[in-house]
A and B are shown apart, each in its own frame.
Chain A
Amino acid sequence: MFARLRNSRGYRKFTRNRGAMVALGVIGAYTAIFILVWFFGVLTRADARERVLPRNTPGWLEKQSVEDRFNALTWYVESHLGSAIPSDLATRPDAQDALRRAALGERRIIDAPPERVLELWADLRAKHKETDDLFLDLEDAENEILDIRLIIADTTSSGGPEDEIASLREELAELEPEAAQLRAEFESSLAGAEAALTELMPMPKGWAGIVYGFRTFLGSNAIGQSISVHAFYSIKIAFQIGLVVATACVVIGTALGAAAGFFGGWIDALVMWLVSTLSSVPYLVLLAVLSFMFTGSQLFDNPVDRPELQLVKLYVAMGLTFWVGTARVIRGEVMKIRSLEYVQAATAIGFSRPYIVVRHIIPNTFHLMFINFSLLFIAAIKNEVILSFLGLGVSGQPSWGAMINDAKDDLTNYFFWTVGSASVLMFGLVLAFNIVSDALQDAFDPKHVA
């Protein structure tokens, strides 16, 4: 069956399309990640939940402002280590266990005797305190400068006395170098404190370092979880929905479409009635009804124990409505094939009608099935994102829609990493499928109008 496809002209044309080959490679990469996550459990939901960084840490390449760095350091010292390092560390029998639990992902507290750890910890706290004092001084100084600038601007615009402005400017000229001096001191003190932190919690090396690098290279979300783990884990959800919906729709659509096209008569009338009816139901309404039916069900709404079954409502809603397009296309094609000589010949020889459909007709619609599969795959992924965003789809497990929904407000803080990572990964997958389905169409069905 596939041999015929491979020898066809369309196949050769398709394989010569370089863009499509690259896109196939991209899809292959996504598939590999999907299999790694889904089958081998390389990334788990526990990984996604784990805290690896302070909140909203930007990813790779973006330089943090000094204030953000200071806030992150404060978080390490006051919130994280402050509660993770027990005060009675030196006398505890399970000191090493306690320290192990203070790890952030692969980044652990230095493997040293408790006395050494406490020493480093005290050093870090002292340095942080010093930095903190400098920060407060600096903020005061800079606010003062801003205030004076404002007064100057006000007085100038209201035509205030020149000499007053001049004296203010003088004051400003005095304050500015002082503030600059303070800033330099603050920055060096901050660098020192950060070094002390690295000493206490060294960056992991070797394999652990690579893993930690992967988990931190896209930064962290509002509760310090790894964005990269979320974004890559979401590929699994996208593929699950894409594969199930596309496969189901292609199978149902082909079966019903072929039956309608080949047998005609009441079967055709019934299938076309179903097609028209289902395509006139707003599928969002269908989905709302379904999600209403499934809400709170132990089986279908249990993201802790049965995350897969949570997707069933999406499968059903999309599955019910998306197959109609495939059925229409296949029906048209089958009607065309039905009148071709070789089918008539097969009928004349006396092959049974179901045999003809399976043996002679459906294989000739393979190209359409492939094209429809990739179009449906895209549609399913895009809709999942929108539905999860509207709160009707996936919850309690990472998905691109949930990520975007969760982080959309961070945009106004100029924090793009969560929304950006989800968007880019989704864009790559959808683009690859778009290119492949275009190339398939070009190769196998060139006369088709979009």
Chain B
Amino acid sequence: MWAFIVRKLLYNVPVYLGIIAILMLALRVNDPTYTFLGKNATKDQQDRLRTSMGLDDPFAVQYGRLLGKVFTLDFSEDSWAQPGRSVRAIMISAIPKSLSITIPTLIIATFVSIWIALVAAYFRGRPPDKTLMILAVLGMSISYLVYILFGQFFGAFLPDQPGGIGTPFAITGYEPWLLGEHADPWNWVTYCMLPVLIGVIVTIGYDTRFYRAVMVEETGKDYIVTAMAKGATKPKIMFVHMLKNAMIPIITRVMATLPFLITGSILVEVYFKIPGMGNELISAIKGNDFPVVQAFVAVFAAFFIVSVILTDVLYALVDPRVRLS
């Protein structure tokens, strides 16, 4: 097992090195200090900014430094667009906000779509299955953007109009749960609920189809035949035997979405004004905030790689055959 983990790690190291190299190069195509300061900057200022980020050093040195920062998680340098705030501070304040949208979305979407998938698989080929699958395809075909616009309109705006039924959803914004001036768990829920619901509705179509396909594939397996032969009832087979075995692809799929928990859903965050990672990244890009962009991208890629490795390892734990291939 350890050999497998080491092998996976070794395989992914060059991948990560490659990502960092590509991104660092791409970010340096145009001089970041010039882009940020504009042409009226004094030479001195540009130099100060450049030395503060070590942009004068040879590329290899900068490369090594960034890798070091990622491994030690030491992003103490200041943001350019928001001097006085370190990149680390920005990340620390943004990550919980992204997580408070993405984690509930992931949990609810996974639960709901597994249940729908089970129901569909149970009625496989019959009208309930067909209806659910048509709905899933319809749902998948609507743009995320449209869900967000109409979700906000019908979920928050319309009910809040005079004579409307009122709504528990906040229209936009975010309040923290535990710390800070406005901390209040119930408030937090009202701010997060609508983005979460929209996120769930968007992903549910894709998830349901996937899980149904998994279930349908499982129904052809021998153990199901055995269970049937033993006289287990159909619901029992579906909801107990099958679900257990279907956990492997389910976990794989959930793991695959983990890196996106950190980036957050950019569109939702921008539209609902939630200051999470996605929102910070977009405003950093627009503000030419080089340290933030570079650090965010490096961290995101690192999360991605780590979750890929974790998925592989988990997979190997579940299915020993994988280790040998």
Contacts and interface: CB of A to CB of B under 8 A. Distances in A.
Interface stretch (B19-27, B87-95, B120-128, B193-201): B19-27
Interface in B268-306: 270, 281-282, 285, 293, 297, 300-301, 304-305
Interface in B7-25: 12, 14-16, 18-19, 22-23
B138 A431 contact: yes
A285 B18 contact: no
A449 B219 CA distance: 13
A435 interface: yes
Contacts of B16: 280
A411 B12 CA distance: 47
17 contacts: A273-B15, A276-B12, A276-B308, A281-B19, A284-B281, A285-B293, A292-B35, A293-B29, A385-B145, A386-B144, A423-B142, A430-B142, A431-B137, A431-B138, A435-B137, A449-B249, A450-B210
Given A273-B15, A285-B293, A385-B145, A280 B301 contact: yes
A203 B149 CA distance: 36
A427 B214 contact: no
Given A280-B301, A281-B22, A390-B270, A427 B142 contact: yes
Contact of A282 (B142, B153, B213, B300): B300
Contacts, number: 105
| B22, B140, B146, B304, most chain A CB atoms within 10 A | B146
B157 interface: yes
| A277, A288, A292, A435, most chain B CB atoms within 10 A | A277
A426 B149 contact: no
B247 interface: no
Contacts of B15: 273, 276-277, 280
B143 interface: yes
Contact of A273 (B14, B146, B214, B270): B14
B33 interface: no
A434 B266 contact: no
A277 B30 contact: no
Contacts of B210: 449-450
A180 B204 CA distance: 52
B307 to A, nearest CB: 10
B125 to A, nearest CB: 12
B97 interface: no
B214 A449 contact: yes
Interface in A100-151: none
Contact of B149 (A280, A382, A408, A448): A408
Contact of B26 (A276, A286, A385, A449): A286
A415 to B, nearest CB: 11
A3 to B, nearest CB: 31
Given A431-B137, A434-B140, A281 B270 contact: no
B145 A285 contact: no
Nearest to B23: A281
Interface of B, secondary structure class, is helix
Interface of B: 12, 14-16, 18-19, 22-23, 26-27, 29-30, 35, 137-138, 140-146, 149-150, 153, 157, 206, 209-210, 213-214, 217, 249, 263, 266-267, 270, 281-282, 285, 293, 297, 300-301, 304-305, 308
A285 B14 contact: no
A186 to B, nearest CB: 26
Contact of A289 (B14, B18, B26, B149): B26
Contact of B263 (A282, A286, A293, A408): A282
Contacts of A385: 143, 145
Contacts of B285: 285, 288, 292
Contacts of B12: 276
A312 to B, nearest CB: 16
A276 B309 CA distance: 12
Given A285-B293, A427-B142, A450 B209 contact: yes
Contacts of B149: 404, 408, 411, 419
Contacts of A449: 210, 213-214, 217, 249
A389 B145 contact: yes
A382 B143 contact: yes
A277 B18 CA distance: 6
A356 B48 CA distance: 60
A412 interface: yes
A438 interface: yes
A242 interface: no
Given A281-B23, A285-B293, A382-B144, 13 more contacts: A280-B301, A280-B305, A281-B22, A286-B26, A289-B27, A293-B30, A385-B143, A386-B267, A390-B267, A423-B142, A426-B146, A430-B142, A450-B209
A225 B66 CA distance: 51
Contacts of B301: 280-282
Given A281-B23, A289-B27, A431 B141 contact: yes
A254 to B, nearest CB: 22
A273 B10 CA distance: 12
Given A289-B26, A411-B153, A431-B138, A273 B297 contact: no
B174 to A, nearest CB: 19
A277 B270 contact: no
A168 B300 CA distance: 68
A289 to B, nearest CB: 5
A434 B137 contact: yes
Given A285-B297, A450-B213, A386 B145 contact: yes
A339 to B, nearest CB: 14
B213 A386 contact: no
A277 B26 CA distance: 14
Contacts of A412: 153, 157
Nearest to B136: A434
Contact of A430 (B23, B27, B141, B267): B141
A37 B141 CA distance: 24
A285 B255 CA distance: 22
Contact of B145 (A273, A280, A404, A450): A404
Nearest to B304: A280
A401 interface: yes
Contacts of A280: 15-16, 19, 301, 304-305, 308
Nearest to A286: B26
Interface in A390-435: 390, 401, 404, 408, 411-412, 419, 423, 426-427, 430-431, 434-435
| B26, B145, B149, most chain A CB atoms within 10 A | B145
B111 to A, nearest CB: 18
Contacts of A450: 206, 209-210, 213-214
Interface string A327-341: 000000000000000
